[in-house]
Amino acid sequence: MRRRWNAMDSAYSHGFDYDAYRSSHRTSQTDEYPFELVVDGGQDTTRPPVRSRLQRNLVILVILGTVLALGWYSLRFIPLFDIERVSFTVTGGFVSVPVKAGELANEVVGTSLMSGSPAALERALAALPLVQEAQVRRSLFSTVAVHLHIVSPSVFIAIVTPEDTVDSIHMVREGDLREIDFQDFKMFGNNTFVIEVSPQYGSHLLKYGIDQAMRNVVSLATDMGMDEDGRYRIVGRIRYEESLGKAFGNMVMDLPAYNSKLYIREPVSESRLHDAVRLIRLEHELDTTRNIALIGQLRYDLYAQSLVSRQ
């Protein structure tokens, strides 16, 4: 003990402040220790980072999705799910299955119910001109149920050759001509007008769509009205003859009930057309001495301001 104090006294005698050294040494240890304790202790005691947990969950979801997809894909190779029958329910313009719809349905028979065939069939059916709405449903284990709603058009456009034969039948959808099967056209019966056009004008309409002149013709045709039996009255055939360089050509209406043919030479209103038809009917009823066998069919020319008889 005496030796220790002698050493300290010796240090003091040489100008070395041992107390100051000891104090600063302890302070340095104390200042450094908490910092080191926080760093080391944090790494040992905290939970795994949030990002690691998200990555782990994502991997699990990917694996589960892959397993489910492979399971669904494998079902299409099981013969139990091969499509054997396609059932139809049809509403709207007529209740028979359109020809093209039947052909499309036959193409999916034999394919798997669990494949993409039902969805592809629904898209193909919805694209048909006659179909307003198409719904396709799977019915276990081998049936596809189809519901079609058929449009109810008021007018069709027929391209007729100079030999008076029908080359094709079209309906108007969104300003364009869409060809339909002749058997499907017959399903509508006498519930629609048919406007006949030449092959040249028909090609123009197919390429460029419905022009203003044809819109006027369609408007006049559909405005003629229907009788109580759902048939268009009075008018038989309607033919539109285009005229180069003119905004409106010649619209020809056959009126078999009055043994007459009406030529519309320029755009007229619906009311003007109805007035003209009433005058033709009145003349037909008053002229009881008319000899149809000798005179033949009478002709009238309708203009915006006049109706001219061409007997």
Mean pLDDT, rounded, for 88-110: 94
Q: Are residues 145 and 161 in the same domain?
A: no
**70 occurs within a structural domain:** no
For residue 9, the model assigns a pLDDT of: 56
Share of the chain above pLDDT 90, in %: 40
Tell me the pLDDT tens digit for each residue of 168-225.
999 998 889 999 999 999 998 877 889 999 999 999 999 999 988 898 888 888 777 5
Q: In the predicted model, is pLDDT for residue 116 greater than 80?
A: yes
One domain, residues 161 and 298? yes
CATH number at residue 128: 3.10.20
Q: Does any domain span residue 87? A: yes
Instruction: Provide the domain limits for residue 39.
Output: 2-45
CATH of the domain at 239: 3.40.50
In angstroms, the Cα distances linking 230 to 63, 85, 188 are 62, 35, 11
Instruction: State how far the Cα of 115 lies from the Cα of 179, in Å rounded to an integer.
Output: 30
Select from 150, 177, 201 the last residue of a domain: 150
- The C-alpha atoms of residue 169 and residue 156 are separated, in whole angstroms, by 7
pLDDT of residue 126: 96
Q: How confident is the model at residue 11 (pLDDT cuts 50, 70, 90)?
A: low
**pLDDT class of 35 with cuts at 50, 70, 90:** very low
- Give the pLDDT confidence score for residue 169 in this predicted structure: 95
Do 300 and 209 lie in one domain? The reply is yes
Q: How far apart are CA 25 and CA 191, in angstroms?
A: 110
Q: Is-contact 169 185, C-beta < 8 A?
A: yes
- Whether residue 161 sits in one domain with residue 38: no
pLDDT at position 154 is 82
pLDDT at 233: 58
Give 120's pLDDT tier (boundaries 50, 70, 90): very high
**Does a structural domain hold residue 65?**
no
The proportion of the chain whose per-residue pLDDT surpasses 70, expressed as a percent, equals 76
Burial profile 170-193: b = 16 or more Cβ within 10 angstroms, e = fewer: bbbeeeebeebbeebbebbeebbb
Q: Is the same domain home to 200 and 222?
A: yes
| Residue 230 neighbours by CB under 8 Å, 6+ apart | 191
Report pLDDT for 311: 67
Supply the pLDDT for residue 47: 60
Residue 218 belongs to a domain: yes
- Quote the number of domains for the chain: 3
Domain boundary among 150, 170, 203: 150
**Residue 300: band (very low, low, confident or very high) from pLDDT cuts 50, 70, 90:** very high
Q: Which residues pair with 307 in a beta bridge?
A: 302
Judge whether 66 lies within some domain. Answer: no
146 with 168, same domain: the answer is no
User: Which among 87, 116, 150 is the end of a domain?
Assistant: 150
Whether 283 and 165 map to the same domain: the answer is: yes
pLDDT tier at 80 (50, 70, 90 boundaries)?
A: confident
Whether residue 143 sits in one domain with residue 159:
no
- Is residue 239 located within the same domain as residue 290? yes
Residue 210: burial class (beta carbons within 10 Å; 0-12, 13-18, 19+): middle
Position 133 in a domain: yes
Asked if the model's pLDDT at residue 1 lies above 50, the reply is no
Q: Is residue 57 part of a domain?
A: no
Tell me the CB-side half-sphere exposure of residue 229, using CA atoms within 13 A: 5
**19 in the same domain as 137:** no
Residues 176 and 243 in one domain: yes
CA distance 275 to 273: 5
Tell me: the pLDDT tens digits for 255-298? 888 888 999 988 898 889 889 988 988 888 887 655 454 557 88
Residues 127 and 248 in one domain: no
What is the chain's mean pLDDT, rounded?
81
- Look at residue 259 in the predicted model and tell me its pLDDT: 86
